[in-house]
Structure 1
Amino acid sequence: MSTPTTTAPGRTLAWPAYARGQFLLSWRVFWRNRRSTFIGFLLPVLLNLVIAAPLRDQQIAGVNAAAYSTVGFIGFALVTSFINLLNGVVARRDDLVLKRLRGTEVPPTAIFAGQFGAAGAVVLLQVLVLGGLSVIWFDAPLPADPLLFLLTLTGGFLLFAVLAVALSGLTPSAEAAPMIATPVLLICMFASGVVAPLSSMPHWLQAPAHNLPMAPVVETLRTAWFGRGFGPESWNGAPLPALDLLHAWQHAAPALLIIAAWTAGAAVLGRRLFRWEPRHG
């Protein structure tokens, strides 16, 4: 009876060290893999330069269109993080790394905390790069509500991180991961308002698009950055009115609830689908 009482507190006290070890391992693997570095770090930045730069002299909803697009690509960085997490989880499962870790004293929460932490650090670097571009090159203001911005970014990151773990259970192998990741990437990029307002889509698609995982994240990031009620904007529409902090949070509340609902659903799905061992063999 003495072993559980001494071991459990020891594991609890060692949890930060376990999580740190998983963080450092995931961090090194990410930057050493050219494919993950390109998709997970460079792709949102390069796409933003190609798409946003020609919009510098245009306005949308009362803000610079290039800055509007850049904040959208900050949201898109969460999707590329999802792709790398999905690939990483599946690859570690197929290489039996997760199975071996599960047989050690490393708590499962520390395994995923370290991997999520490394992915989150990459996202923060992208935010600094894309945010710097928006402010310095596109003359965007600094975020009007940094707290709402960080809350939305954190909630969106957790949503896509948990979704990556859940969908890893449907991915038979690392080679098959692009078949799962690519549709998510395309839907989030072209049907979630990352590049253009959702009002530019066919009318019958607009309501479903507003409830996809990425759309509320992008809308609320823009609301927090520019202090305006984004969501109903259009290319040729009038400028959106400025919001004070209270009304910005009121406007963002429905989108934050959608993000929370998607995260809860992904967590339930993950508990049912996630595997520590390869699906076959």
Structure 2
Amino acid sequence: MSTPATTLATARRELAWPAYARGQFLLSWRVFWRNRRSTFIGFLLPVLLNLVVAAPLRDQQIAGVGAAAYSTVGFIGFALVTSFINLLNGVVARRDDLILKRLRGTEVPATAIFAGQFGAAGAVVLLQVLVLGGVAVTWFDAPLPADPVLFLLALTGGFLLFAVLAAALSGLTPSAEAAPMIATPVLLLCMFGSGVVAPLSSMPHWLQGPAHAVPLAPVVETLRTAWFGRGFGAETWAGAPLARLDLVQGWQHALPALLVIAAWTAGAAALGRRLFRWEPRHG
């Protein structure tokens, strides 16, 4: 049974939650930009890779849209994976430096700790969306997003998926030095197995089914559907242009992919409850 003092302390913590989360946000934001490695991987890498890959595709078409713009929207999805890498590194480093342990012993709620750290990573992703979206529209002649609401929903869902996955896999990461061993396979799988650059139909037939289940694949598919207003997912390099969809048809087409994103997020959350550690791993 709670006492009046306990109830009052709980109320004070709830009222102070925004301040706690803001403090964690500002700390994570400063650490990100001061670390050259995290800045390169988490911000510059998707932008630079997109310029290298998409620029030669300016005169080609995929499913009725410019191939360069098609790839650029794919790299917006890929930015979620580089965000995952930096979150994984950040969570493991804070755990090994005993920062998480000390914070857990204070009044700062666990939700505020992660809200601040995830919020800073999300702000970086939004900056990347503005940069890559600007490149798509101004340089690669892409239209403005056909359904901004669906686009933001897919982006938010994908970010939460990879943020929760980073927290979960931090429990399997023995140290910050070992984080690349966990992050690199995820990076490569999502880069080459999720249709970031080219349609999944360009892969061997026996790989196409599993590729559609890779966590980034439904995110990229929905981002393209929302941006171009066409039903992406089964497009090919040489196929006919996809039919245009109205807003209702776009949501109907995107629903299965959104459910896959939700399922992945739920699975990552369940994994995180079992694996996440507040203190360094021993042995």
Fold shared, TM-score > 0.5 on shorter chain: yes
**Aligned counterparts of 1:80 and 1:106: Cα–Cα separation in 2:** 28
- Match 2:94 to one of 75, 92, 95: 92
Indicate the residue corresponding to 1:235 in structure 2.
Answer: 237
Runs of 4+ with deviation above 3 angstroms = none
* CA deviations over 1:83-119 (Å, ceiling 9, x no partner): 0000000000000000000000000000000000000
**Aligned counterparts of 1:13 and 1:4: Cα–Cα separation in 2:** 14
**Aligned counterparts of 2:155 and 2:166: Cα–Cα separation in 1:** 16
Indicate the residue corresponding to 1:135 in structure 2.
Answer: 137
Q: Is 1:256 aligned with 2:258?
A: yes
The CA RMSD measured in Å over matched residues stands at: 0.6
- Match 2:249 to one of 243, 247, 250: 247
Indicate the residue corresponding to 1:272 in structure 2.
Answer: 274
**Aligned counterparts of 2:225 and 2:104: Cα–Cα separation in 1:** 42
**Aligned counterparts of 1:102 and 1:2: Cα–Cα separation in 2:** 23
Letter in 1 for 2:140: F
Letter in 2 for 1:85: L
TM-score, normalising length: structure 2: 0.99
**Following TM superposition, by how much is the alpha carbon of 1:280 offset from its aligned partner in structure 2, in angstroms?**
1.4
**Aligned counterparts of 1:228 and 1:180: Cα–Cα separation in 2:** 35
Percentage of identical aligned residues: 87
- Match 2:222 to one of 220, 223, 227: 220
Indicate the residue corresponding to 2:186 in structure 1.
Answer: 184
Indicate the residue corresponding to 1:120 in structure 2.
Answer: 122
**Aligned counterparts of 1:271 and 1:157: Cα–Cα separation in 2:** 19
Letter in 2 for 1:123: V
The 5-angstrom pairing of residues 48-87 of structure 1 reads 48-87=50-89
Indicate the residue corresponding to 1:111 in structure 2.
Answer: 113
**Aligned counterparts of 1:139 and 1:212: Cα–Cα separation in 2:** 29
Indicate the residue corresponding to 2:173 in structure 1.
Answer: 171
Letter in 1 for 2:68: A
**Following TM superposition, by how much is the alpha carbon of 1:5 offset from its aligned partner in structure 2, in angstroms?**
1.0
Letter in 2 for 1:213: P
Task: State the secondary structure of the residue aligned to 2:278.
Answer: coil
- Match 1:40 to one of 39, 42, 57: 42
**Following TM superposition, by how much is the alpha carbon of 1:212 offset from its aligned partner in structure 2, in angstroms?**
1.1
**Aligned counterparts of 1:120 and 1:180: Cα–Cα separation in 2:** 21
**Following TM superposition, by how much is the alpha carbon of 1:2 offset from its aligned partner in structure 2, in angstroms?**
2.6
For structure 2, list consecutive stretches of 5 or more residues without a partner in the other structure. Answer: none
**Aligned counterparts of 1:223 and 1:188: Cα–Cα separation in 2:** 19
Q: How many residues align?
A: 281
Letter in 2 for 1:269: L
* CA deviations over 1:184-233 (Å, ceiling 9, x no partner): 00000000000110000010110111011000000000000000000000
Letter in 1 for 2:252: Q
**Following TM superposition, by how much is the alpha carbon of 1:15 offset from its aligned partner in structure 2, in angstroms?**
0.1
**Aligned counterparts of 2:85 and 2:279: Cα–Cα separation in 1:** 20
**Aligned counterparts of 1:233 and 1:110: Cα–Cα separation in 2:** 42
**Aligned counterparts of 1:38 and 1:88: Cα–Cα separation in 2:** 14
Indicate the residue corresponding to 1:159 in structure 2.
Answer: 161
**Following TM superposition, by how much is the alpha carbon of 1:167 offset from its aligned partner in structure 2, in angstroms?**
0.1
Letter in 1 for 2:154: T
**Following TM superposition, by how much is the alpha carbon of 1:265 offset from its aligned partner in structure 2, in angstroms?**
0.3
**Aligned counterparts of 1:209 and 1:8: Cα–Cα separation in 2:** 46
TM-score, normalising length: structure 1: 0.99
Letter in 2 for 1:29: V
Letter in 2 for 1:87: N
**Aligned counterparts of 1:36 and 1:142: Cα–Cα separation in 2:** 30
